[in-house]
Structure 1
């Protein structure tokens, strides 16, 4: 393709393990302090629905397990349980506090803490429901589609963003993709469609 046949998008890689922990921590603090969330379209409902019950089960079982742990080890066990429960809540907070965003210039598809894909709004032609699985996390190529990129926390994708002209996305070590489709996760396809129409 020539430079006239595609437009440039942006891919932001995740911040690394320490950076992800900072994002989780900051997000959890913002939720606890009830700071207003950034407006946008939420995503990764499946991940949230998996993690929250696990956190609840962990909370309940921590008391049962603690009664079986020898008394000298109970403080260490309590710290471990607190870390597990806090981590689960922080992960959910990071997903909720980093929604997809649409404005007149761009569509930002976020993962919360694994990176994001920024697409020029003018290149977005449509969004459609899909049922798709692509292994991996964050922004990544789609193995059987050379002109597609996936951007999600988990492997399950339910939205296809169709692009025309294609958007050139640099996925780092995975290479450059002139994307005609970006697969993502969105809690509400009608909300995403409405946001795109309003922009």
Structure 2
């Protein structure tokens, strides 16, 4: 699904990384949850199903060339690849996530020696830290609150796009969709029905 930096074909999953800090009574949790690709596979697939373009270079075509055409992600047989966000840095993070989840879990990496049994090789590694083990939780919460307030107080470069915390766009979208429903194009709906 994701090509190595300077590569032309998919060798990694999107290897999401999630970092969360607990909420306090005065604020929502800090939640960074992102694919290590420039765009998530699901977003590429939905764009392909709708006939829309994606940012140029976020996908590679079947020949390994950068494009803005996500049609290689329509359906279930993928052609082409996603590219890592941030060039070599995102690739390094994707590689680290693959090794941490695949090797430390004992479940194996995505490399082809592992039997797929009709699916993909997709492991998970969770590291849970009890903040109380490091000291005064109230002081940590206060420092987190202060840092969040400091970041949010930055004057926006574009007044129509305020500074946000990781997780804010998703919280807003969840509230909107809870009120109005989840839009699904007919092609994506057919694919969901086919796999159900």
Q: Which range, TM-score by smaller chain? A: under 0.3
Higher strand share: 1
Higher RCO structure, 1 or 2 (CA under 8 Å, sep 6+): 1
Whichever structure has more helix as a proportion of its residues is: 1
